[in-house]
Amino acid sequence: MKAHVYALVTGGSGTIGAAIAQRLATAGHFVYVHAGSNLAAAEAVAANLRQTGAGAQAVCFDVRDASACHAALAALLARGPIQVLVNNAGVHDDAIFPGMSPEKWHRVIDVNLHGFYNVTQPLTLPMIRTRWGRIISVSSVTALIGNRGQVNYAAAKGALNSATRALALELATRGVTVNAVAPGIVAGPMTDGLFDAEMIARLVPMKRVGTAAEVADLVGFLASREAGYITGQIISVNGGMA
């Protein structure tokens, strides 16, 4: 493996994505910080990384749009292969299933699952050619134990887990590992205000929420040389919820 590695973090402008970008930058990678629409937010994360001496660049494209993904990724690949890919872009749009609109179903599937394909597939062959790579997707505890009001989200993340295991088998002899991390309740805008202390104590054996840094540390390890014999795994980071 060469010393300088290009890494792409989709959804890199969010709480978990920014922590992952920071962790990969600390490991010496040049990090592409992706945003789906808010380029300014991704640029802010990238600017913070550059201030620490790391290499970073903000990129913006819709992971639901295959053509947009191909065009954006082709421009990045012109600089060099992306050998660390973190599929972190994701959304949830909750509703009880009898009242779930087609729009809610398709939006969540499109971002969380089709986005995985649209980003990962164009990067796979260039990664294989280097004989070294790391593909890490951010799943959810919801895919493991379910959650009321999140049938769409559970379906998307469950399919992501299955895709992770299957792709790991395809790439196992090519020097490329494929894994997923499944966070539980992590502090941030998506969860703040949704869970009070009593609910956390009931749901989480450790009786606290996780932090984005704790998720990022696991991703950073899976992206490292030391994790070279770990592939096809869905690893939980959820305080014992599952």
26: domain CATH number is 3.40.50.720
Q: How confident is the model at residue 231 (pLDDT cuts 50, 70, 90)?
A: very high
Cα dist from 26 to 15, 31, 217, 220, whole Å: 17, 10, 11, 9
Q: What pLDDT is attached to residue 1?
A: 39
In angstroms, the CA 205 to CA 169 distance is 33
Instruction: Indicate whether 239 belongs to any domain.
Output: no
Instruction: Indicate whether 224 belongs to any domain.
Output: yes
Write out pLDDT tens, residues 79-134: 999 999 999 999 999 999 999 999 999 999 999 999 999 999 999 999 999 999 99
Q: Cα 86 to chain center, whole Å?
A: 5
Q: What pLDDT is attached to residue 193?
A: 65
Q: What pLDDT is attached to residue 32?
A: 98
Instruction: Indicate whether 240 belongs to any domain.
Output: no
Q: What pLDDT is attached to residue 190?
A: 67
Query: Hey, which residues are catalytic here?
Result: 153
- The first and second tokens of residue 188, run together, are 């941030």
| Angle subtended by helix axes 39-51 and 15-26, to nearest 10 | 30
Q: The pTM is what? A: 0.95
Rounded (5°) CA angle 16-4-171: 70
Our count of domains for the chain comes to 1
Q: How many residues in total does the chain contain?
A: 242
- The first and second tokens of residue 204, run together, are 């989480």
Amino acid (1-letter code) at residue 188: G
Boundaries of domain holding 224: 6-231
Write out pLDDT tens, residues 5-44: 999 999 999 999 999 999 999 999 999 999 999 999 999 9
3-state class of 127 per DSSP?
A: helix
Do residues 2 and 26 touch, judged by C-beta distance below 8 A?
no
Instruction: Indicate whether 119 belongs to any domain.
Output: yes
3-state class of 33 per DSSP?
A: strand
3-state class of 80 per DSSP?
A: coil
Do residues 135 and 178 touch, judged by C-beta distance below 8 A?
yes
Per the model's pLDDT, the better-predicted residue between 53 and 197 turns out to be 53
3-state class of 160 per DSSP?
A: helix
In angstroms, the CA 193 to CA 138 distance is 22
Q: Cα 241 to chain center, whole Å?
A: 20
Write out pLDDT tens, residues 156-195: 999 999 999 999 999 999 999 999 999 999 998 766 666 7
Dmax (CA) for the chain in angstroms is 52
Q: What pLDDT is attached to residue 2?
A: 45
In angstroms, the CA 18 to CA 187 distance is 13
Instruction: Indicate whether 17 belongs to any domain.
Output: yes
Instruction: Indicate whether 236 belongs to any domain.
Output: no
Which whole number is the average pLDDT over 229-240?
Answer: 97
Nearest to 160 by CA among 181, 175, 177, 146: 181
Which whole number is the average pLDDT over 67-75?
Answer: 98
